[in-house]
Amino acid sequence: MSYLLIPFFVATIVTLFIVRSSATHGHISADDDLSGPQKFHARPVPRIGGVGIFVGMAACVAVMWAMDHAYARLGLLLLLCGLPAFLAGLVEDLTKRVSPAKRLAATAVSAALGGWLLQALITRTGLPGLDWVVATSVGAMIVTVFTVAGVANSVNIIDGFNGLSSMCVSLMLLCFAYVAYQVGDAELAMWALAGVGAVLGFFVWNYPAGLIFLGDGGAYFMGFLLAELGILLVARHPEVSPLFALMVCIYPVFETLFSIYRRRVLRATPPGLPDGIHLHSLVYRRLMRWAVGVKDASAMTRRNSMTAPYLWMLCVASLVPALLFWDSTPALAVCLVLFGVTYVGLYWRIVRFRTPRWLVLRGEGRRKARGRPVPPAEGKPD
């Protein structure tokens, strides 16, 4: 259990230090833009939580290396390969000047390094036509780079609420650890659990109070680690379905694909343009407004922390069939389709949801009684 506890305690301590010292570095590390479409906090908060996760993993690698552990090499290579993705995101967190294209390019470099140094290549997909592409070395590298960059970006997209992406990634890594254990791959199981420990070390300060945010550095590194371990598990063990890793990651991946479709086709806007109508944003704006109340500073943190559990349940809905049918490609294919249908159905149900008029009027009455200004409505009430 040391490979889980070491990164957990180190990440916990490092993250706590960042939170406690935010008065010193907050002018460069804090997210002080409270007006963006995906901003749901009431005060500036440090957004470099990925530092604690990366340092926690590095501490685990250092201990394993000092012990001359046979699995230390894989951990070191995972860190080195993931460094470009992490640094590009961290520079964006500190400067707010690194474009999404440059961050994706850095993640693509990390993916290419993983394919070269770790042999983490997608060589089978279970999809007719695409299997022919990945049968060649060049095709496998191209598909791998595209996939890893896509998964890392998808984890960044679902990041936005306290505990959302970090808990989802922890659950996904646990699934990889379980299947790795089932097929006798203790090395992959160990590093998946080490990732869980590092992420949970950040989670305890992020949820529910939101004392620190993950940031792009943490999101891209977590996404890279998740993708690499999934690819390695499928590549090393033919008995594992090539659709297993996709089923585990389908929530953030489908969120990304659906967002691209929604922006490009339905709204005719650039796919990379931020907006506030992701599924998790709608849960916050519509359901949590109905459950908690109007948008004021006292309610924002509570609404934020209450949003994530709804999406955790959606994530679990994809992980359960992944664990049940990890060795059955046909069953996983059916489950992928069912997840897509369920997601779209939930999205359109929530996007058409309107806050009841009585709740809006009651909230406005409370604010007037307290002498506070009434905020603009978040959508037309019924």
Q: Looking at the domain assignment, is residue 367 inside a domain?
A: no
Q: Looking at the domain assignment, is residue 266 inside a domain?
A: yes
Q: Is 234 helix (H, G, I), strand (E, B) or coil?
A: helix
Alpha-carbon distance 89 to 253, whole Å?
19
| Extended beta strands in the chain, E state | 30-31, 45-46
> In the block, which residue shows the tokens 């598909």?
143
Summary mean pLDDT of the chain: 87
Alpha-carbon distance 106 to 97, whole Å?
14
- Report the pLDDT averaged over residues 96-111: 94
Q: Could you write out the DSSP letters of every residue in 251-296? A: HHHHHHHHHHHIIIIIS---TTS--S-SHHHHIIIIIHHHHT-SS-
In this predicted structure, the answer to whether residue 338 has a pLDDT above a threshold of 50 is yes
- Report the pLDDT averaged over residues 296-320: 82
Contacts of 115 (CB under 8 A, 6+ apart): 121, 140, 141, 144, 145
- Report the pLDDT averaged over residues 97-102: 92
Q: Looking at the domain assignment, is residue 368 inside a domain?
A: no
Choose the weakest-confidence range: 21-25, 185-189, 270-274, 277-281.
270-274
Q: Looking at the domain assignment, is residue 68 inside a domain?
A: yes
Q: Looking at the domain assignment, is residue 65 inside a domain?
A: yes
Assigned token pair, 44:
């500036």
In this predicted structure, the answer to whether residue 349 has a pLDDT above a threshold of 50 is yes
For the chain, what percentages of helix, strand and coil (3-state, to nearest 5) are there? 70, 0, 25
pLDDT tens-place string over residues 247-292: 999 999 999 999 888 877 776 677 666 666 778 778 877 666 655 5
Q: Could you write out the DSSP letters of every residue in 111-159? A: HHHHHHHS-------SSTTHHHHHTSHHHHHHHHHHHHHHHHHHHHHH-
- Type of residue at 174: L
Choose the weakest-confidence range: 42-51, 122-131, 309-318.
42-51
Residue 266: which domain range? Answer: 2-351
- pLDDT: which is higher, 75 or 365: 75
The percentage of residues in the chain with a pLDDT greater than 90, rounded to a whole number, is: 67
* Range among 1-10, 273-282, 315-324 rated most confident: 315-324
Report how far Cα 138 is from the mean position of its chain's Cα atoms.
28
Q: Looking at the domain assignment, is residue 366 inside a domain?
A: no
- Where b means 16+ CB within 10 Å and e means fewer, 104-124 reads bebbbbbbbbbbeebebbbbb
- Report the pLDDT averaged over residues 62-68: 95
Q: Looking at the domain assignment, is residue 340 inside a domain?
A: yes
pLDDT at 27: 82
Q: Looking at the domain assignment, is residue 377 inside a domain?
A: no
pLDDT at 208: 86
Total count of domains within the chain: 1
Choose the weakest-confidence range: 137-151, 167-181, 364-378.
364-378
pLDDT at 369: 54
- pLDDT: which is higher, 352 or 87: 87
The residues that bridge with 45 in the sheet, in sequence order, are 31
pTM: 0.87
- Report the pLDDT averaged over residues 87-110: 95
pLDDT at 190: 97
In this predicted structure, the answer to whether residue 299 has a pLDDT above a threshold of 70 is no
